[in-house]
Amino acid sequence: MTTAVKRSVSSHHQHGEFELSIQGNVIVADIHGSWNAQAAKAFDVEFRQLVQQLSQKSWAHLAYLDNWELGTSEMVAVIEELGVWCIEQGMKRAAHVYQPSHFKSLLLDDMVVEQQGEFQRRSFAEADQAIAWLAADGYLLNEG
């Protein structure tokens, strides 16, 4: 099952864009631009809707973050809360793909725990590495 949601946040109150899809038992996010709280809240709503569509009790998240330009401090709490909720809903792995960036690493470390119970988060410079890590634990993206 592939479900895709594309959202461009373009009103003068919201900044940032994202695309979300379900591929197998993985929710894939492609993140763009500099985010504010409104963009994070829109992402939160759409992400939670996709989680509700998953038929698996255990699932993973793959985020492409090369085009993400960080965001405001107000968005951090929204993403922190979403991360906690996702772990409670069965997210076991989160793979973040971006070229090494000290600032992205620091902000992501603030927003999402690295390990909690069965949950693990890792960062990768290349998508192939992230996909292989997820696949090794049974989180497979469907082709197409």
User: Does residue 10 sit within a domain?
Assistant: yes
pLDDT bucket at 14, cuts 50 / 70 / 90: low
pLDDT bucket at 140, cuts 50 / 70 / 90: very high
User: Does residue 142 sit within a domain?
Assistant: no
Show the domain range for 130.
2-136
Average of per-residue pLDDT values in the chain: 89
User: Does residue 143 sit within a domain?
Assistant: no
User: Does residue 19 sit within a domain?
Assistant: yes
Which pLDDT tens digit goes with each residue over 23-75? 999 999 999 999 999 999 999 999 999 999 997 889 999 999 999 988 888 89
pLDDT bucket at 10, cuts 50 / 70 / 90: very low
Alpha carbons 20 and 3: distance in angstroms, whole number: 8
* Mean pLDDT, range 90-108, rounded to an integer: 93
User: Does residue 94 sit within a domain?
Assistant: yes
User: Does residue 67 sit within a domain?
Assistant: yes
Domain of 17, CATH number, reads 3.30.750.24
Domain count, the chain: 1
User: Does residue 55 sit within a domain?
Assistant: yes
Q: In this predicted model, which residue has the larger pLDDT, 13 or 128? A: 128
Burial 50-78 (b: 16+ CB within 10 A, else e): bbeebeeeebbbbbbbeebebbeeebbeb
Task: Categorise residue 120: left if φ over 0, alpha if ψ from -120 to 50, beta otherwise.
Answer: beta
User: Does residue 141 sit within a domain?
Assistant: no
